[in-house]
Amino acid sequence: MPLEYHKQIFETCLSNDGLVVMSKGLGVQHVILAFLKVYCDSDKLVLYVDPYSESLQESYCYYNEKLLQFGVKYANLPTFLKQELVGASKYRDGGVYFGPAATFILDMLMNRIPTDHIAGIIVDNAHRIDDLSPEALLLSLFKMRNSRGFIKAFSSDAAYITSSYASFGDINNLQRLLKLLQVPRVYLWPRFHLAVANELDTDSIAGGAVADNRLIELTIPMTESMIKIEKALTNTIEKLMGDIRSKNKHVLEKHRMTLEDGLFNSFDSMVQSWGDIGWHTKQNLNTIKILRNLTTLLVKYDGVSFLKFLETLRDVDSSYNNPEDEYSWIYTRDAEHLFNSAKERVYIESKLEFKKKKGDSGQKVDVYKRELVLEENPKWHLLYQVIKEIEDSKKETGIEPETILVFVKDERTCTQLQEYLDLGGYGMLLKKYDRLYAPTPPESTNSSIYTGGNSSWAGANRRKRGGAGGKSYSKRASESSRKQKITETNMRKKMNIKDETNATLFSMGVSVVGGAGGLSISNPRIVEVNGDNQSIDIEQIDDIYSVLSPPHIIIHPIEWSGNILEDATPQHIIIYDADVTIIRQIEVFRAENPHMTLFVYFLLYSDSIEESKYISILRREKDAFERLIREKASLIDLSGGLNNTTITTEKEQEVARIKNITEEELEMLPSANTSSRADSRTGGVVKYRSALRRGQGTKKKVVVDSFEFKSSLPVALHFGEYQIIPLRLVTGDYVISPLYCIERKSISDLIGSFGSGRLFHQIDQMGRHYTNPILLIEFDARQPFMLHTQEELNLPYISQVALSSKLMMLSRAFPKMRIIWARSSRSTVAVFDRLKENGPEPDPSNINVLPEPSANNSEYNYAPHDVLKKLPGINESNIHFVLDGVRDLHHLSQMSKDQLSTLLHSETDAALLYAFLTQDHISSKNINNQNNQNNNNNGNYKRNWSNRKK
């Protein structure tokens, strides 16, 4: 760690537990890497968790590569766990383990991992942890069983912690987060921290600094059509936000809404945090999401792709065929301007006038002429100018050209820029237009004729283009994969082609780097090998496979920046898409390599949403750190409460006090079943009684299926003071007593279970083993509490394939089953409390064991019992009379109507059963012949359905 502030953070956290909050891009990974280096070289056991599953895999690849560079042996590298270990022998060897929190929780509860041997836990992206995260449960269990282990938490998103829409609430989010992380203090390292500023600041431009006069900020205005599109989008967003204000006036005093808020994804979480919002508000919120995405795609996509995307939105819009729908944005005036301006970037239509011939009585057909415009994005030409300027400056000075690194937002932009550099702007757009609109252009260059109402073109053959643009284009060979290392391959062009029709721009190698090193070679050189003579000249091979000479152009996505700065060591960096993180990373890279000469070009659209969002992100981060500084000053000192000696002493005193309480004194306290009104009058004595009972070993228990730890319900049960017992259950997901077995389903899982038929089998198995099988339908608190979709509510009837209809059929098939609805995991815990009142606790040793015979249907064969239940007149109230009073089905069919009435204790049920048994399905003669044949062949046709133990 060459930077001093990295060393300060490491030394501070090495001796103290805490949460480190840094600005984006300041190098939090360098501090984490230092901790991993320390514990990889030791025999201590350290766990690494991350709420982001994708980020966990990327971090594992990144840190492994860095640790190898630092000299860590391959055998000592961190281990990635995808599932729980069968035994604890692997953990006893020590080392660093990456894995999901659910895996470590299960191993910890199953005693597969020696908790007392865990040195500590490292938590990345700690701002994403809430009270229902598996990471919160893991840290709580760890501190309960190992009070001496360390917890190091790291975050680089201060704005999320302080946001009023975060899952912690509005009052001191920082205090709540520290409690969940089980750490006593927080360390704040913003960009304006004195130690950080002293090392990174030279000349600050665009919120970042690189070197004296070496950062060049280049702004360029958008085209007139792009400005019109952006204005139409912002006007529509403002109108939708105004409609949200008018329908939610009860929360406007608490939450302010501006257009700037609507441009960020955090706006959705803010609106959803208001609670029960109306359907129209949710409709407007979904529309704002679409429009916000369009503001990003306007500067990201080319004009042809953007227009095609708009047309796709119009086609799939639910109100496309209803122009009178006031909640549809497609038919607003601003949307009309949006579509017209998007078309102007691609083509211009004009209606052709034809004189009608004499005697022509046919139907008139409108004929239109389409002139292709194919407007280029202004940033493309600006990028070309910068690269051309770099090349020209090196030629004038006679200095050997260096590598040029271009940072873009994502991999799609990488491919787009490569096509632009290969084919030129017009050539790339024409090729994309031909592909997306499937044209057959005529021989004319810029015009085409087609019939109105039909998108097909009138023409014969496709026009061919000369030059480099006519050569075949090589697509990337492989899909990106985050699990593979990012490799950089640089190619140079073997042929110098003149700049004709703006197809080939310059003779520099262009390389696109994706997640798996995907590459597209421009103007590839093809060597044909004669079948008769397979030998190739050595000089020719050397010319083809020789080491490539600079200059190289590497186009790299920002989201996978990783080691690209250290590996490529570029002299020129072009930031194509504005991003705070990559600017800070360049700052850190420049500070770590002060001897390098580095030129940075920052490209930005002036007076655009891109510029306003970039400035807003900087301001929000600054305001967030200022708020965290104020909250830190008012934090409750948890260092004493987290002291190991203090906790041990208090626990010992509490245990001694509980042991000295007699049963008579315990019974004098109010019952746990007392209502909440009585509880408030007694000053919380009921809760004290419950705590005393749990202290005496009567803590509530629940057996949880091992596959359920990926959900939030086990976390809610733990913080609801339940003892969680993990077990691989044969039937059900949760067992809260010997009588109750619960199958938990989310709405999406419920729909999938009905589709596959798995739910019927699950309920049937629970009904055979438990007296009260329960289906728990758990909703998402952020989604509407309803089973029907909006389309189903508009229908005048309930469809047979609707979810409610399937639940009704399921209830009729399994009368013993009960259905429980829960709004969230916290609501489910309250339901479990009600079900467990005065009930016995589950016994894990007998969970997966078949129950003993009793007075219920477990003493009978299941197959005949199921057949009998399908007969008319047979139900749960009289089926046992039939099983006990009749030998088999043949005996039942020979009984008279009066005998059935006496057997079933109901004349109505007897009439239904008798009518079914005496109905002429086939002739009686055939039945008698079949019975005689079966008796002669088998000797005993009758088979008892009773399966009683001898």
pLDDT at 268: 77
Angle between helices 28-40 and 53-69 (to 10 degrees): 60
Report yes or no on 388 lying in a domain: yes
What average pLDDT does range 902-929 have in this prediction?
73
Dihedral angle sign, alpha carbons of residues 30, 34, 37, 40:
negative
pLDDT at 362: 57
pLDDT at 877: 76
In whole angstroms, give the CA distance from residue 916 to residue 932: 23
Residue whose pair of structure tokens reads 């514990």 in the numeric block: 39
Structure tokens given for 105:
């929780």
Structure tokens given for 758:
């798995």
Angle between helices 897-904 and 907-917 (to 10 degrees): 130
The CA radius of gyration of the chain, in Å to the nearest whole number, is 36
Of the candidates 18, 164, 191, the one whose C-alpha atom is nearest the C-alpha of residue 626 is: 191
Answer yes or no: do 167 and 258 share one domain.
no
Q: Is the pTM of this model over 0.85?
A: no
**Torsions phi, psi for 700 (to 5 deg):** -60, 140
DSSP 701: E
pLDDT at 602: 94
Peptide bond into 551 cis (omega under 30): yes
Answer yes or no: do 60 and 148 share one domain.
yes
Report yes or no on 620 lying in a domain: no
Of 579, 607, 635, the position where a domain reaches its end is 607
In whole angstroms, give the CA distance from residue 300 to residue 306: 9
pLDDT at 422: 87
**Torsions phi, psi for 749 (to 5 deg):** -70, -35
Asked if 319 and 286 count as a contact pair (C-beta separation under 8 A), the reply is no
The model's pLDDT over 339-365, given as tens digits with 9 standing for 90+, comes to 999 999 999 887 776 655 655 555 566
Answer yes or no: do 271 and 389 share one domain.
no
Answer yes or no: do 104 and 18 share one domain.
yes
Residue whose pair of structure tokens reads 């204790």 in the numeric block: 905
Report yes or no on 566 lying in a domain: yes
pLDDT at 793: 63
Distances (CA, A) of 798 to 62, 791, 805: 53, 11, 8
Of the candidates 614, 604, 613, the one whose C-alpha atom is nearest the C-alpha of residue 580 is: 614
The model's pLDDT over 258-276, given as tens digits with 9 standing for 90+, comes to 888 888 877 877 777 666 6
Segment holding 310, helix H or strand E: helix 303-316
Answer yes or no: do 384 and 345 share one domain.
no
Query: How far is CA 56 from its chain centroid?
Result: 13
Beta strands at 367-372 and 447-451: parallel, antiparallel or unpaired: antiparallel
Report yes or no on 502 lying in a domain: no
pLDDT at 527: 35
What average pLDDT does range 517-536 have in this prediction?
38
Q: Which of 113-122, 312-321, 735-744, 941-950 has the lowest mean pLDDT?
A: 941-950
pLDDT at 765: 85
pLDDT at 645: 34
What average pLDDT does range 150-165 have in this prediction?
86
Q: Which of left, alpha, beta for 699 (phi over 0: left; psi -120 to 50: alpha)?
A: beta
Dihedral angle sign, alpha carbons of residues 715, 717, 723, 725:
negative
Report yes or no on 726 lying in a domain: yes
Report yes or no on 541 lying in a domain: no
What average pLDDT does range 61-73 have in this prediction?
90
Alpha helices in 168-217 (DSSP H): 173-181, 194-200
Q: What CATH number has the domain bearing residue 708?
A: 3.40.50.10130
**Torsions phi, psi for 12 (to 5 deg):** -70, -45
530 or 242, higher pLDDT: 242
Answer yes or no: do 251 and 190 share one domain.
no
Exposure letters 458-469 (e unless 16+ CB within 10 A, then b) = ebeeeeebebbb
Structure tokens given for 316:
């799939």
37 or 316, higher pLDDT: 37
What average pLDDT does range 894-911 have in this prediction?
86
From the number of C-beta atoms within 10 Å of its C-beta (0-12, 13-18, 19+), residue 232 rates as: buried
Distances (CA, A) of 515 to 303, 420, 485, 512: 26, 21, 7, 10
Percent of the chain clearing pLDDT 90 (strictly above) = 28
Q: What CATH number has the domain bearing residue 884?
A: 1.10.150.20
Q: Which of 280-294, 673-687, 751-765, 767-781 has the lowest mean pLDDT?
A: 673-687
The model's pLDDT over 457-495, given as tens digits with 9 standing for 90+, comes to 333 233 333 333 333 333 333 333 333 332 232 222 233
Answer yes or no: do 412 and 334 share one domain.
no
Report yes or no on 728 lying in a domain: yes
Answer yes or no: do 811 and 890 share one domain.
no
Report yes or no on 824 lying in a domain: yes
The yes-or-no verdict on residue 250 having pLDDT over 60 is yes
Residue whose pair of structure tokens reads 């002669």 in the numeric block: 936
Q: What is the 3-state secondary structure (H, E, C) of 158-171?
A: HHHHHCCCCCCCCC
The model's pLDDT over 159-192, given as tens digits with 9 standing for 90+, comes to 988 875 454 444 578 888 999 999 999 999 999 9
221 or 874, higher pLDDT: 221
In whole angstroms, give the CA distance from residue 896 to residue 709: 56
What average pLDDT does range 836-853 have in this prediction?
73
In whole angstroms, give the CA distance from residue 120 to residue 35: 11
The yes-or-no verdict on residue 78 having pLDDT over 50 is yes
Segment holding 763, helix H or strand E: helix 758-769
pLDDT at 356: 59
489: Cβ–Cβ under 8 A, 6 or more apart, which residues? 511, 513, 517, 519
Structure tokens given for 551:
């200059």
Q: What CATH number has the domain bearing residue 141?
A: 3.40.50.300
pLDDT at 273: 67
The yes-or-no verdict on residue 941 having pLDDT over 50 is no
The yes-or-no verdict on residue 98 having pLDDT over 90 is yes
pLDDT at 916: 86
pLDDT at 544: 42
What average pLDDT does range 735-759 have in this prediction?
89
Answer yes or no: do 67 and 178 share one domain.
yes
pLDDT at 499: 37
48: three-class secondary structure by DSSP: strand
Answer yes or no: do 76 and 109 share one domain.
yes
pLDDT at 439: 52
**Torsions phi, psi for 288 (to 5 deg):** -65, -35
The yes-or-no verdict on residue 13 having pLDDT over 70 is yes
Domain hosting 72: range is 4-202
Could you give the number of structural domains in the chain? 5
Of 583, 607, 631, the position where a domain reaches its end is 607
Answer yes or no: do 274 and 331 share one domain.
yes
In whole angstroms, give the CA distance from residue 115 to residue 109: 10
DSSP 366: -
Answer yes or no: do 338 and 399 share one domain.
no
In whole angstroms, give the CA distance from residue 705 to residue 708: 5
Q: Which of left, alpha, beta for 23 (phi over 0: left; psi -120 to 50: alpha)?
A: beta
Beta strands at 722-727 and 700-705: parallel, antiparallel or unpaired: parallel
